[in-house]
Amino acid sequence: TAETIGWARIAGQTATGYAASVIGCDAEAGIERELPPSETPDGRPGVSLLFFGFSRDALQKAVVNRVAQCVLTCATTACFNGLAGDPGKTIRVGGTLRYFGDGRQISKLLDGKRYWRMPTMDGEFLCEDVFGTVKGVGGGNFLILGETQAQTLAAAEAAVTAIRQLPGVILPFPGGIVRSGSKVGSKYKGLKASTNDAYCPTLRGAVASALPEGVNAVYELVFDGLDLATVERATWEGMLAATRCPGVKQITAGNYGGKPR
């Protein structure tokens, strides 16, 4: 939260930057939605952020680092847990950041929750001690195949708009859209992923292309949700919005070495 929604957005956007894919980032993260003062613990405007990682330990490291560098440093902010997870599966955020107070930090226990108050040059930074975690679903995806780049991008944007209306889901890539779809592995040793050549229009004729006739652009949407039902709903709403746009020839999805259901 922050004194204004503008500063809350700045903190949220900064904290979720460089978090498109856990393949190359410490987490996948995004702004789930904006919160009115009536929905926040301190009665100020805020944003809800979701972070996804391969393990709880990795998630704690990523969240602590991002809150420390991007929320604590942002004017007027405070940081609260918004997820009621298993009490035995929490990550410590405020309890780790409290040392920034250099011995001047103060702990408060309210309604069974511990908060840390750290002095800053504009007042104080308030941060909840522990944050909840749950086992989410990462990597929901689909590909939009279209006639032209402009038409396909417009369809992808419509899909993003539809998915962002749903609670409990984020689209971690820039603008929610992936132009550089990838496949598992590479001809280069040590590279985990490389360009999805079967869907690259410029490689048609040079590789085993998966592109139907008339398709000249492909965009991918990747989204993470708190549970399977959320990801399924996001898939449906996103595809439905995309298919209403002109120029869309086909919608498919990546499997990336998994077993078809």
pLDDT band at 260 (very low <50, low <70, confident <90, very high): low
pLDDT at 20: 95
Which tokens is 228 given? 């399977």
Q: What is the pLDDT of residues 221-234, one digit of tens each?
A: 999 999 999 999 99
Q: Are residues 110 and 47 in the same domain?
A: yes
> Quick check: 79 pLDDT over 60?
yes
Q: Are residues 161 and 216 in the same domain?
A: yes
Residue 126 in domain: yes
Of 51, 60, 7, residue with least CA distance to 27: 51
Of 52, 53, 59, 40, residue with least CA distance to 1: 40
**Orientation of helix 228-243 relative to helix 149-163, angle to 10°:** 140
Where residue 122 sits, what CATH number does that domain have?
A: 3.30.70.520
DSSP line for 34-86: EE-GGGSTTSS-EEEEEEE-SSHHHHHHHHHHHIIIIITTSTT--B-------
pLDDT at 258: 65
Contacts of 24 (CB under 8 A, 6+ apart): none
pLDDT at 116: 98
The pLDDT > 70 percentage for the chain reads 98
* Domain enclosing residue 56, as ranges: 5-132
Of 230, 88, 66, 221, residue with least CA distance to 152: 221
pLDDT at 142: 97
Count of structural domains within the chain? 2
Q: Are residues 246 and 141 in the same domain?
A: yes
How far apart (Å, rounded) are the C-alpha atoms in residues 102 and 42? Answer: 25
Higher pLDDT, 261 or 209: 209
Q: Are residues 97 and 48 in the same domain?
A: yes
Out of 132, 150, 182, a domain closes at 132
Out of 97, 132, 167, a domain closes at 132
Out of 82, 97, 132, a domain closes at 132
Q: Are residues 225 and 117 in the same domain?
A: no
Residue 89 in domain: yes
Q: What is the pLDDT of residues 131-190, one digit of tens each?
A: 999 999 988 999 999 999 999 999 999 999 999 999 999 999 999 999 999 998 999 998
pLDDT at 88: 85
Q: Are residues 147 and 123 in the same domain?
A: no
Q: Are residues 105 and 216 in the same domain?
A: no
Residue 156 in domain: yes
Tell me the C-alpha to C-alpha distance, in Å, between residue 209 and each of 79, 204, 261: 48, 6, 23
Higher pLDDT, 164 or 256: 164
- Average pLDDT over the chain, rounded to whole? 95
